[in-house]
A and B are shown apart, each in its own frame.
Chain A
Amino acid sequence: MAVARPQGADHALLYVPGRSFLHRLNPLTKLTLVLWCAVAAFALPPEGTIPLALLSILIGSFAGAGRVFARRLALTLLPLSVALFVVHGMLVDHAGARASLLGLDLSREGLAYMVRILGRIAALLSGSLLFVCTTHPSRLLKALDAHRFSPGAAYVIASPLLLLEPFTQRAKAIREAQMARGLDLEGSFMTRVKAFPALLMPLVTLALADIDHRAQVLDGRGFRAMPHRTVLDAPADSRQQRAVRWAVLVSIPVLIAGGVLWHL
């Protein structure tokens, strides 16, 4: 089926266009915060990760990418929490006290374990989702260039975002080619499930071939010829944001040390 897709320069796969506070924040500040979130997700106890996740969900829904963000997060987190609940609350045979909830006989330890994992994943996911929803890959690249990151380093940091778009186009092209040669992707659920490996395998091999090709193209264009590139319209930055970034970066080792001590 035809899916209309915006074709403007502003379009990127996960990016949600907007002018919120988060959109305007310098991409590097956001990147630093995401890094902090990722470390915190593992270092903090559930008492820390859950409020952190809630905070970023609230900010994301009301001051960031709004409904799109909330929907994407729900679509990922809800099935996951149901699965975790079933597996750890009911299936895995944890020793110790039982709890009863809505008439179900549940393992207390299993539930605690589930909350712990869920808190981590929620913190990690909401933070990074918020970042990709409010940051256009090209702005991230510009910010990295403006801060004199080497093109290689900038590319490594931004490439997952940049690769997504050609990757989905490639997936679409393969899907079309297979359907046009008779693969039934419009049939029942089961026929589609059966067709899935035929879609996935080529995508993975071709993605690898693409990355290889891309590296060659970049080299061919003298990608590393200059130590850094000059950016004319660098994303806005400020002294406060710089201070925040340093503070956040400095707090990361503290966070890790704290996490290690806590778990001892």
Chain B
Amino acid sequence: MTGLLTLDAVRFGYDPERPVLEDISFAVQHGEVVAVVGRNGAGKSTMLRLLNGLLRPDAGRLTIAGRDSADLKVSEIAAHIGTVFQAPEQQIFNATVRSEIGFGPAQQGLAPREQAARIDEAVARTGLEGVLDTHPLDLDAAMRRFVAVASVIACRPDLMLLDEAQRGLDATRRATLGGIIADWKASGRAIVLVCHDMDFVAAHADRVLGLAAGRLAVDAPVRDFFADAAATRAVSVEQPGIVALAQALGQPVALSASELVTGLAPRLKGGA
């Protein structure tokens, strides 16, 4: 089966003598939400830059939609993969939210009406209706993040890369982002998200890739990952609160409160 994206023994170092990532192999399928975790400096952002072609592997192969990425320009990869960078506020460059979101569709050479439709769709999804003619730098940091998300949605890639997109969002906006992720997955497209927040990973990811010492130390379904204390320790992450609670109650791993309650129901009914 050819995935949406396949890495085969990829190695990369900013200084080729000292690789940041080594022997990385995995595939991402349609409809999958994959979380990349690991401590600061583990190479998560570097990995996303390899996926979108801004960096090229020193060794190994990266295949995007069945084509070797070495044959693709970054601008061609952009049709398949969209990126919300770790510091999107640094990357916003248009004078209005509208033109910022419209930049990608314009680069794709779409007809003006199609461009406008793409902007409308992305704006509706991210709740930016009221600020279309505002300068992005006049928005607060969280809104700017959504401008970056909207500008990716408007390009309609098959795969969206999110680097710490949930960081610093309040509960409402986290829910908005969660909704975007769920819709994206439901439409058969894929997401790779880098995230230090294990509650967010538990709530939204299907699968976890863990980086440690430049290698892929973990590649497991999210439930198995959190059930395995050795795995979470290997990539220096804490278990989400809900998982710890379930384990303290002697229950199997639960990824949400309702799941835990369902698991506990027989005991509760028994009046224990």
List, in ascending order, chain B residues with CB within 8 A of A203's CB: 93
Please tell me if the beta carbons of B73 and A178 are within 8 angstroms of each other in the complex. no
List, in ascending order, chain B residues with CB within 8 A of A206's CB: 93, 137
Please tell me if the beta carbons of B56 and A182 are within 8 angstroms of each other in the complex. no
Known: A2-B56, A209-B137. A182 touches B93 (CB 8 A): no
Please tell me if the beta carbons of A2 and B55 are within 8 angstroms of each other in the complex. yes
Please tell me if the beta carbons of A182 and B75 are within 8 angstroms of each other in the complex. yes
Please tell me if the beta carbons of B91 and A176 are within 8 angstroms of each other in the complex. yes
* CB under 8 Å from chain B, chain A span 204-229: 205-206, 209
Q: Does A202 contact B (CB under 8 A)?
A: yes
Q: Does A181 contact B (CB under 8 A)?
A: yes
Shortest distance in angstroms between A174's beta carbon and chain B's nearest beta carbon?
5
Shortest distance in angstroms between A140's beta carbon and chain B's nearest beta carbon?
26
Chain B interface category by residue count: 20 to 34
Chain A interface category by residue count: 20 to 34
Shortest distance in angstroms between B40's beta carbon and chain A's nearest beta carbon?
14
List, in ascending order, chain A residues with CB within 8 A of B54's CB: 176, 179-180
Q: Does B83 contact A (CB under 8 A)?
A: yes
Among B81, B137, B152, residue most surrounded by chain A Cβ atoms (within 10 Å): B137
Residues of B within 8 A of A (CB): 12, 14-15, 49, 52-56, 73-75, 78-79, 81-83, 85, 87-88, 90-95, 103-104, 107-108, 137, 151-152, 155
Pick 28 A–B contacts, CB within 8 A, sort by A: A1-B55, A1-B56, A2-B12, A4-B15, A170-B90, A173-B85, A173-B90, A174-B90, A174-B93, A177-B88, A177-B91, A179-B78, A180-B74, A180-B82, A180-B83, A180-B85, A181-B103, A181-B104, A181-B151, A181-B152, A182-B75, A182-B78, A182-B107, A184-B73, A185-B74, A186-B73, A187-B75, A202-B93
